[in-house]
Amino acid sequence: MYRVIKMYGDCEPWWFLDGWEEDIVSSTAFDTYEDALKAYQKEMVFLSETYSQKKTMAGFMTAFWDSKDQIWCEECDEYLQQYHSVLLLEMDKSMPKGLQSARPRQRIRPCQIKH
């Protein structure tokens, strides 16, 4: 099973910081890789037409942003960039397979800001 996840938040999707799931805007499951890839590519085209800045990591994790889309964080005492992200992940029973080896230790968010 595969999943295409759309996110909006203050971290690029490949960090998987604690609470990253709170930034999920939508999540769609697919039985085949081909169907998931089509959905991922469709979202990539839409976001590419909307945002000029983007970065891709690990093949199927892409963040798009507008440098003016930032929020102030009192705790951090700085503005935090907001990202529109899309991911294509392969799933097992409980979590993306790609995350099982990618998170050797727990990461801590620099601040406790909630959207």
- Any domain includes 59: yes
Distances (CA, A) of 75 to 32, 93, 110, 113: 43, 37, 9, 7
* Residues 65-94: b if buried by 16+ CB within 10 A, e if exposed: beeeeeeeeeeeeeebbbbbbbbbbebeee
53 is in which domain, residue-wise? Answer: 2-102
Query: Each residue's pLDDT tens digit in the chain (115 positions)?
Result: 899 999 999 989 888 888 888 999 999 999 999 999 999 999 999 999 999 899 999 889 999 999 999 999 998 899 999 999 999 998 865 444 444 444 444 445 556 555 4
39 occurs within a structural domain = yes
| Total number of domains constituting the chain | 1
Within a domain: 110: no
Asked whether residue 41 is domain-assigned, the answer is yes
* 107 falls within a domain: no
111 located within any domain: no
DSSP string, 61-102: EEEEE-TT-EEEETTTTEEEE-EEEEEEEEB-SSSBHHHHHH
